[in-house]
Amino acid sequence: MAKKDKEQEVLSAELKNVALENVEKVSRREQIESEADSLSIEDIKSKSLTPTPGDFDWDNTSKTGFGNYTAAEREKMEAIYATTLSSITKGEIVTGKVVLINNKDVVLNIGFKSDGLVSLSEFRDQPDLKVGDNVDVFVESQEDANGQLVLSRKRAKTQRSWETINRALEMDEIITGFVKSRTKGGLIVDIQGVEAFLPGSQIDIKPIRDYDVYVGKTMEFKVVKINHEFKNVVVSHKILIEDDLENQKIDIISKLEKGQVLEGTVKNITAFGVFIDLGGVDGLLHITDISWGRIEHPEEVLKLDQKINVVVLDFDDDKKRIALGLKQLQSHPWESLDTNLAIGSKVKGKIVTVADYGAFLEIIPGVEGLIHVSEMSWSQHLRNPQEFMKVGDEIEAVVLTLDREERKMSLGVKQLSPDPWVGVAEKYPVGSKHKAVVKNMTNFGVFVEIEEGIDGLIHISDLSWSKKVNHPHEFTKNGETLEVVVLEVDAENRKLSLGHKQLEENPWDTFETIFTLDSVHQGTIIKMADKGAIVALPYGVEGFAPTKHLVKEDGKSLGADDVADFMIIEFNKDSKRILVSHSRIWEETKQAERQVEREVKKKEAGVQAKAVKKVKESVEKTTLGDLNVLAELKEKMDKEDKKK
């Protein structure tokens, strides 16, 4: 057995010498061609007298001195030699041993009849390559035009890589790759010479904001998809994390209890709260459970990737929704509130919220008191709290109520100044005149402010003596200053009844003597209504003309802006109501004319009756001729009666 191994080593050494001779022949051939110009034909011929391999007589070895073998020895040697040569196929991957390295190529012995050459550039990833190393190569061709065995390490690596990648997909195995560069939507990963795509969504379980931090790193992946047609490979690193987290998640959920304190990492921040990664399980830290003090956004307290301790507040039966708390790890601020604080104490703080009903004043972080809008001013007329204060204002207030058990406190600001209603009857007696600012208007009147905290109401009926006001905005506007007269004071209920028209004498006493019944005045129609028209009369007085009283003598009706005579048909001083009519004027004129005509006709009839009576009295004295005259007179009178 040792003899056979020794013979094997001898043959390998001989094969190595043959390979070296082949390289030397190539070099020698180039040298001969460069010297051809300086040599004669005879010299060239003499250099080519060396016997060619085809001229060698392998059977007559004794003449060459190569060796003298018997038939048995030769058969044995041939058998040994046959075992040193292996049959190879194009496209096959084989293992070869490095036998020579020069500045261009690497010579490999793959056990074939000739050695193969591989470009040195294909070994850039192996700078420490040396003679004797074994490498896998791809057989591109058994023999090229020059009779040389053609090998490729690059193609061998690629094919081996594809085999590894396919096996990883089929067997769900983990493979290692090198992140080469960033591309649109993800990263390019080199897996043993094959480029694969790592989508951005598959890098990590949390959103990645900067892909560049992964470039140049070696990472583990799982193959998730292979497109053999286009040679595309998609890998995922996120799957590995999820598998690991799933195991952690099962462990965490199995041990989850209310009140348990866990360490977590801020995973995502929203306006309503923060999602905390508890090691594969996400929990929600609501904004109201972050701090005892009021905050507008969680970013004021926490930031992404920050590690914090949280307490488990609650979770559902499946433990899929977990409510967490941060402020619960600290004592409640009410417990540290000054024990001397009581009703009537003055406190200072900052306004943290302003609502429609009031504002919240933060005394210390986590302790707030409500200032109701009614406690912001002595005025009984409620206004918008934003007129008094805004978020961020630092103010002083008085404690009105305090409940330490319920952790509630109400505050007041108006109590810092004297109550203006004290002694209001002496300050604003009935009949006194003042200036006031219009603050608000309703359908029934105008609210005005005489001074800060002293409000009064001017009823709509007390705005004007002469003008009919349907809504106060027809008479005044917010912010305008009006002169008023105090009509009534109710200090107990903090009410003032005011008037504006009372600044002047009641003109209706005068109007009563001017706009008497049946008197006629010129007027202008200023507005048409459903049942008539509003008529502007002299002295700024307005009257109302019903529709049927707008008819003119020609049968048509008066319209807006028409000027005509109107008769007063009703006058009510108490309700300030004047009814007028245009139709009544021409109707009464015609009626008077008819009355005159009737009186004339009545007078004429009386004259005729007297004449007839006189005739009858003298009938006895009348002659026959007189009778004819009377007959004619009677006939004439009958005709006149018929005409009438």
**Tens digit of each residue's pLDDT (9 = 90 or more) over 526-563:** 989 888 999 999 888 889 999 999 998 888 999 999 99
Under 8 Å between Cβ of 478 and 441: yes
Q: How confident is the model at residue 497 (pLDDT cuts 50, 70, 90)?
A: very high
Percent of the chain with pLDDT over 90: 22
Distances (CA, A) of 38 to 24, 26, 29, 34, 50: 22, 20, 15, 9, 20
CATH of the domain spanning 255-329: 2.40.50.140
- What is the pLDDT averaged over residues 109-117? 75
Q: How many CA atoms lie within 13 A of 26 on its CB side?
A: 8
Measured CA to CA, the distance from residue 435 to residue 518 in angstroms comes to 42
- What is the pLDDT averaged over residues 74-78? 71
Measured CA to CA, the distance from residue 139 to residue 108 in angstroms comes to 12
The answer as to CATH 2.40.50.140 being correct for domain 508-581 is yes
Give the alpha-carbon dihedral of 64, 67, 73, 78, to 10 degrees.
Answer: -70
Does the pTM surpass 0.75? The reply is no
State residue 370's pLDDT score.
Answer: 93
Closest CA to 86 of 111, 107, 109, 108: 111
Measured CA to CA, the distance from residue 78 to residue 59 in angstroms comes to 13
Question: Would the pLDDT of 579 be above 50?
Answer: yes
338 vs 380, more confident: 338
- What is the pLDDT averaged over residues 392-407? 91
Percent of the chain with pLDDT over 70: 78
Q: Which of 81-85, 195-199, 221-225 has the lowest mean pLDDT?
A: 81-85
Measured CA to CA, the distance from residue 217 to residue 179 in angstroms comes to 6
**Tens digit of each residue's pLDDT (9 = 90 or more) over 168-197:** 888 888 889 999 999 888 999 988 778 899
Under 8 Å between Cβ of 518 and 568: yes
Distances (CA, A) of 253 to 279, 324, 581, 611: 10, 14, 92, 136
Distances (CA, A) of 117 to 27, 136, 149: 16, 13, 7
The answer as to CATH 2.40.50.140 being correct for domain 333-416 is yes
**CATH superfamily assigned to domain 172-241:** Nucleic acid-binding proteins (2.40.50.140)
Closest CA to 298 of 273, 263, 323, 326: 273
Q: How confident is the model at residue 606 (pLDDT cuts 50, 70, 90)?
A: low
Fold assignment, 424-503: OB fold (Dihydrolipoamide Acetyltransferase, E2P) (2.40.50)
State residue 397's pLDDT score.
Answer: 94
SS3 441: strand
- What is the pLDDT averaged over residues 459-473? 84
SS3 391: coil
Q: How confident is the model at residue 84 (pLDDT cuts 50, 70, 90)?
A: low
Question: Would the pLDDT of 275 be above 90?
Answer: yes
Question: Would the pLDDT of 299 be above 80?
Answer: yes
Q: How confident is the model at residue 270 (pLDDT cuts 50, 70, 90)?
A: very high
